[in-house]
Amino acid sequence: MPNISQRGVEMPASPIRKLAPLADAAKQRGVHVYHLNIGQPDLPTPRVALDAIRNIDHTVLEYSPSQGYRSYREKLVGYYKKYDINLTADDIIITTGGSEAVLFAFLSCLNPGDEIIVPEPAYANYMAFAISAGAVIRTVTTTIEEGFSLPKVEKFEELINERTKAILICNPNNPTGYLYTRREMNQIRDIVKKYDLYLFSDEVYREFIYTGSPYISACHLEGIEQNVVLIDSVSKRYSECGIRIGALITKNAEVRSAVMKFCQARLSPPLIGQIAAEASLDASEEYARETYDEYVERRKCLIDGLNRIPGVYSPIPMGAFYTVAKLPVDDADKFCAWCLEEFAYEGQTVMMAPASGFYTTPGLGKNEVRVAYVLKKEDLAKALTVLAKALEAYPGRMV
Amino acid sequence: MPNISQRGVEMPASPIRKLAPLADAAKQRGVHVYHLNIGQPDLPTPRVALDAIRNIDHTVLEYSPSQGYRSYREKLVGYYKKYDINLTADDIIITTGGSEAVLFAFLSCLNPGDEIIVPEPAYANYMAFAISAGAVIRTVTTTIEEGFSLPKVEKFEELINERTKAILICNPNNPTGYLYTRREMNQIRDIVKKYDLYLFSDEVYREFIYTGSPYISACHLEGIEQNVVLIDSVSKRYSECGIRIGALITKNAEVRSAVMKFCQARLSPPLIGQIAAEASLDASEEYARETYDEYVERRKCLIDGLNRIPGVYSPIPMGAFYTVAKLPVDDADKFCAWCLEEFAYEGQTVMMAPASGFYTTPGLGKNEVRVAYVLKKEDLAKALTVLAKALEAYPGRMV
pLDDT of residue A390: 98
**pLDDT (0 to 100) of residue B13:** 79
pLDDT of residue A297: 96
What pLDDT is attached to residue B40? 84
Give the mean pLDDT of A244-253.
98
- The answer to whether the beta carbons of residues B351 and B36 sit under 8 Å apart is yes
Architecture in CATH for domain A6-44+286-393: Alpha-Beta Complex (3.90)
Gap from B46 CA to chain A (nearest CA, Å):
8
Provide the pLDDT confidence category of residue B110 given band limits of 50, 70 and 90: very high
Which residue from A minimizes the CA distance to B15? Answer: A264
Could A4 and B227 be called an inter-chain contact, meaning their C-beta atoms sit closer than 8 Å? no
Nearest CA distance, A317 vs chain B (angstrom): 24
What share of chain A in percent tops pLDDT 90? Answer: 96
Cα dihedral across residues B387, B393, B398, B399: positive or negative: positive
**Residue B154, exposed/middle/buried by CB under 10 A (0-12, 13-18, 19+)?**
exposed
- Kindly report, residue by residue over A345-358, the tens digit of the pLDDT: 999 999 999 999 99
Q: How confident is the model at residue B212 (pLDDT cuts 50, 70, 90)?
A: confident
What is the per-residue pLDDT across B124-160, written as a single tens digit (0 to 9) for each?
Answer: 999 999 999 999 999 999 999 999 999 999 999 999 9
Task: Check residue A17 and give its pLDDT.
Answer: 79
With a cut of 80, say whether residue A399 has pLDDT above it. Answer: no
pLDDT digits (tens, 9 = 90+) for A310-339: 999 999 999 999 999 999 999 999 999 999
What does the mean pLDDT of chain B come to? 96
CA proximity to A336, closest of A364, A371, A287: A371
Neighbours of B89 (CB within 10 A): 16
Mean pLDDT of all residues in B198-227: 96
Q: What is the predicted pLDDT for the residue at A302?
A: 97
**Quick check: B355 and B22 in contact, CB under 8 A?**
no
If you classify domain B47-280 with CATH, what class do you get?
alpha beta
- Option in B43, B129, B261 nearest A11 (CB): B261
Nearest CB to B109; choose among A5, A258, A262: A5
pLDDT, tens only, B245-261: 999 999 999 999 999 99
Residue-level pLDDT at A12: 87
- List of residues 6+ apart from B362 with CB closer than 8 A: none
Q: Which amino acid belongs to residue B256?
A: R
Query: What's the pLDDT score for residue A166?
Result: 98
* pLDDT at A40 > cutoff 90: no
Q: What is the mean pLDDT of residues A270-289?
A: 97
Please state, in angstroms and as integers, the Cα–Cα distance from residue B184 to each residue in B169, B180, B213, B358, following that order. Answer: 11, 6, 13, 21
Q: What are the residue ranges of CATH 3.90.1150.10 in chain A?
A: 6-44+286-393
Residue A13's pLDDT is 79
pLDDT at residue A39 in the model: 79
* Start-end of CATH 3.40.640.10 domains in chain B: 47-280
What pLDDT does B159 receive? 97
Tell me the pLDDT band of B291, cut-offs 50, 70 and 90: very high
Tell me if B61 and A239 make a contact (CB, 8 A cut-off). Answer: yes
ipTM of the modeled complex: 0.96
Please list every residue in chain B whose beta carbon sits closer than 8 Å to the beta carbon of residue A46: none
- On average, the pLDDT of chain A sits at 96
Phi-psi region of B65 (alpha: psi -120 to 50; beta: other; left: phi over 0): beta
A261 contact residues in B (CB cutoff 8 A)? 8, 11-14, 128
Cβ–Cβ of B196/A53 closer than 8 Å? Answer: no
**Residues of chain B with C-beta less than 8 angstroms from the C-beta of A252:** 1
Instruction: Kindly tell me if the per-residue pLDDT of B15 is higher than 80.
Output: no
- Of A302, A313, A323, A309, residue with least CA distance to A393: A309
Q: To probe the interface with A, which of B131, B136, B168, B261 has the most A CB atoms within 10 Å?
A: B261
Three-state secondary structure string covering B128-158:
HHHHHHCCEEEEEECCCCCCCCCCCHHHHHH
Cross-chain Cβ contact B242/A109 below 8 Å:
no
Residue B218's pLDDT is what?
Answer: 98
Can you give the pLDDT at residue A320? 95
Q: Which residues pair with A372 in a beta bridge?
A: A322
Residues of chain B positioned with their CB less than 8 A from the CB of A96: 96, 244, 266, 270
